[in-house]
Structure formats: C-alpha cells, structure tokens
Structure 1
Amino acid sequence: MNSLKVKNIGKTIVPIMLGTAVYAFGLLYFIVPNQLMEGGVTGITILLNYAFSIPIFLTTLLLNLPLFLLGWKVLGSNQIVYTGLGIGSLTFFLWVFEQAIDKGWLVPFTTEHDFILASLYAGVTLGLGLGIVFRYGGTTGGVDIVARILGRKFGWSMGQIILVVDVIIIGASLLYIPREKILYTLVAVFIASRVIDFIQEGAYAAKAFTIISDDAPQIADLITAEMERGVTLIPAIGAYSKQAKHMVYCVVSRQEIRRLSQLVKSVDPTAFVIISDVHDVMGEGFREG
C-alpha cells in the first residue's frame, strides 16, 4: 500500500473517530444524565440503561455486532467497512466516558428545571458528531444498516425506515420517562438534524450566478478581468425566439454578490440573473479539496 493511499485512509479514519467521540460525549454528558432519549439502536441502549442500568457501551456493541455481520454479508465489505470503524470507535469512546464519569473525572451536566438548555446542547453535540461521521463516509451502525438492507431488498426509503424505527423506540420510552422529556428529546433531535445538514453541506457557502443575456461574452470577459473569477459560457437556445445565445455561470463568495450584480447591470441592465446557494465549494479561489 503506497503512502498516498495510507494518507487518504488516515484522513477518513481520524475524522470518523473524532465524530464518534463527540457523539459519545453528547450522549453521556447531556442525554443520559437528564433522562432524555435518542432514536435508533442508541435509543434502545439508553432504554436498557434506564430500565436495568446496563452500561451503554456494552449494549451498543452487543446490538450492533450482529447487524454489522449481517450488513457485511448482504451489502459487502466495500459499503460496510467504515460502518465497522464507526461502531468500534463509538463503543470505545462510550466506554472511556462512562469510566471517566464513574471515577469522577467527568461530571455530567444535569438540571432539574432548565431541560431546554440540556436538549439544545445535546442536539448540537450529537449533530456535530454524527455530521462529521457522515461527512467522511461512516455511520454508527444500528438502524442505518437495517435501512440499507431493506432499501436494497424492497426499495423502501432509508429515511422512512429510520423514521418509523425512531418513532417506535421513542414511543416505547414513555414507559420509563415522562412525556415532557420526550418533547425535550424532539427538540434535541431537531437541532441535531440541522447541525448534521450544516456539517454535511459544508461550513463554507457561496453563491452561483446563472446569467442569461445577449451580451454574455462581454459579461464573462468583464467578470474575469475585474473579479479574477472563473467563468463558464454555456451554449443555449431560447425556447421562444429559437435564437442561439450563451449563459454565463460563475460562483462567487457572499461578499462578492453585490459587486458581480453591478458588473452585470453595467453591461446589460435587462439581463436575466439567477442566484442560487452553493455549499462546500472546492477549487481555485475557494476551499482546497
């Protein structure tokens, strides 16, 4: 295995381990001490902890191991290898934080009244951890594996499967925790989903300009000269006029939106301009890949 391949694998393994560490911290520092819940297999492990005081790291391993082996057999090693890494590192960090809490090295955040604060911080940490894991191609196992298998066998949506399982597990938790804790859990789940999307889409956001004008070549030349941004001219045909023309496509940072708009108007005040959001831009002038 050459050094470049080892380096690329390392760039994946380290973030996945970091993400599972953050996720494990959020579970044991915010969720469990305040008797909140989670979905998926993690929710089952939390329920077992509430009901029988079984260590979460142990049930995480025992529940995920057969699912991992099943996924390996059905989905193949290429799709499941980073899931195995996620399961292993999550189990390890859950054990580490549980030991730290038991020995008094880490004091969890607990509250008797301000559960909204606990749910907000729980949502941020869980979402940050899972977002990092997902961004680098890993998962924490559990329902994700089941959803992939059922999706392949029956064509069911992964999102629908995960949602149904989460509803069943969170509903079952009503046997052990009050209803208001479930509502706080939903706040944490919502915040986590938003943070996951933010991490997945990328912290760096830009704007894409699609400009339709009879003066497209002049606009492209001006953008290149004045802003030093790459521009693409795309051949197009007007559906009504049937005339051939060009569209200008250009991506700029948010700070350059006004300047680019002014340049377009200076050449063609009647140009049709579409401005759309762009996430995680890589390449010259933006973030390096």
Structure 2
Amino acid sequence: MKNNIKEYILIMIGSLSIAFSVNCLAIPNLLGEGGVPGLIAMGTYLFDIPSYLTNFFLNGLLIIFSYRYFNKTLIFRTVFVLILSTIFLHLTAHLPLRLPYPILAAVLAGTFMGGGIGLIYLGKATSASGSLIAKILEKKFNIRKSLGLLISDLFVILPSSIFLGIERSLLTLLSVYVSSKVLAIIIETDLSKYFKISKNFL
C-alpha cells in the first residue's frame, strides 16, 4: 500500500511537471516540443486550441491504439496520467513565464519535461505521448526508452520547424536533448532502488 501511494504521488508530480513545461515555459517562449506536447504547442500557435483539449484527444487516441501492447495496470495508470495532465494543463494555462533568455527557457522546459516523464516512469506508468511509442520501440526493437523518446520527438519537431523558424527550432532541439538526458539520468541509474521499483519495469 505504501509503495502504491508513493507511486501515485510520483505520477502526480510528474504530470504537473510536464504541464508546467508545456504551458509555463515552452508555449509562452514560442518553443516547440516533441511528441504530443509538440502538437499541443502547434495547435496553440496556429489555431489557438487550448492545450488541455489537444492533450486529451491525442493522448487518448494513443492509449486506445497501444492498449494491446501493455498490461491492464500500466494502461490504467497511463489513463490516470492522461486525466491528471489534462487537468494540470487547464489549471496552468494562464501562468506563462516569459523569460528574457530563450536558451534558458529551452533548458528549463527540457528539464521539467524529462523530469516529469521520468517520475511517471518511476510511478510505473507512462506519460502517453512519445512514451508509449518509446515503450513499443523497446519491446519490438530493444531500443532504450530515452533514445526511443528522442526518435519519436524528432518526427514532430522536424515538420514543426517550418512554422517555428531556424532559431526556435534549434532551441527546441536543445530542449528535447536536455529532456532526454534528464530522463536517462532518472530511469537508467540506480534511482529505482530508492523507490523500491524493479528495473525490469523501467
């Protein structure tokens, strides 16, 4: 019971961290993102679609598509992440942090994104988005999750560079790189032992 409570707390903190990265750092500073967060940003920039709506719709579709690859517990917790992230995106929609240095915004956005995804992994869930794709790549091709996430992110970043321009696209790549490194530190070190979580899951 204690482990379950600890895992759900990690999931909640991770979901809030991702929402903070997207709504408070990336979008206000005109940065892109990888995966669904990148599509959320593009939806906001181009069509003024609320981030929480895009998140709920796209990640919901991903969960429906990938449910057969994972056990019921993981899917249930990922649905929990979807609900939490949608709520947190709605609550943080009007809390922009416009920083004077775009490179600082990129580093911070990547740190909170990678940290959020990593904490959700430690809570035995996924953040949906590219995380589900990364886990599928790991199962089928034995690709590390951090690398799989980076690959899935690039499929969104490259097309979005048309709208972002060269400077913002490079900053977005920096953000995604930082995110992948933070994620790797969390899930590919011995952090799992502090949470009594098997590395077989991670």
Q: What's the TM-score bracket when you normalise by the shorter of the two chains?
A: 0.7 to 0.9
2:3 counterpart residue number: 8
1:157 counterpart residue number: 143
Amino acid at match of 1:166: D
In structure 1, distance between residues paired with 2:170 and 2:10: 31
1:50-129 map, 5 Å: 50-98=45-93, 101=94, 106=95, 108-111=96-99, 114-129=101-116
Structure 1 pair 61/40, CA: closer, same or farther in 2 (3 Å)?
Answer: same
Displacement of 1:288: 8.5
In structure 2, distance between residues paired with 1:46 and 1:168: 15
Indicate if the aligned counterparts of 1:87 and 1:139 stay in contact, CA closer than 8 A.
no
Displacement of 1:8: 2.6
RMSD across aligned C-alpha pairs, in angstroms?
2.5
Displacement of 1:182: 0.9
Displacement of 1:147: 4.2
Cα displacement string for residues 91-126 of structure 1 (whole angstroms, at most 9, x for unaligned residues) = 11101111xx1xxxx3x2224x62112112222222
Indicate if the aligned counterparts of 1:115 and 1:184 stay in contact, CA closer than 8 A.
yes
TM norm structure 2: 0.83
Displacement of 1:158: 6.2
Displacement of 1:74: 4.0
In structure 2, distance between residues paired with 1:179 and 1:190: 16
- Greater RCO, 1 or 2 (C-alpha within 8 Å, sep 6+): 2
Please point out which of 36, 49, 70 is paired with 1:41.
36
For the pair shown, the structure with the greater C-alpha radius of gyration is: 1
How many pairs are equivalent? 195
Whether 2:153 is the aligned partner of 1:166: answer yes
Whether 2:136 is the aligned partner of 1:141: answer no
Structure 1 pair 173/97, CA: closer, same or farther in 2 (3 Å)?
Answer: same
Displacement of 1:71: 2.3
Cα displacement string for residues 69-97 of structure 1 (whole angstroms, at most 9, x for unaligned residues) = 23223433133222222222111110111
1:151-230 map, 5 Å: 152=139, 155=141, 157=143, 159=145, 162-200=149-187
Partner SS state of residue 124, structure 2: coil
Partner SS state of residue 127, structure 1: helix
Partner SS state of residue 88, structure 1: helix
Please point out which of 4, 16, 24 is paired with 2:19.
24
Partner SS state of residue 27, structure 2: helix
In structure 2, distance between residues paired with 1:55 and 1:118: 21
In structure 2, distance between residues paired with 1:151 and 1:128: 20
2:199 counterpart residue number: none
TM norm structure 1: 0.60
In structure 2, distance between residues paired with 1:200 and 1:163: 15
Which sections of structure 1, spanning at least 5 residues, go unmatched? 203-278
Partner SS state of residue 114, structure 2: helix
Structure 1 pair 49/69, CA: closer, same or farther in 2 (3 Å)?
Answer: same
User: 1 or 2, which has the higher helix percentage?
Assistant: 2
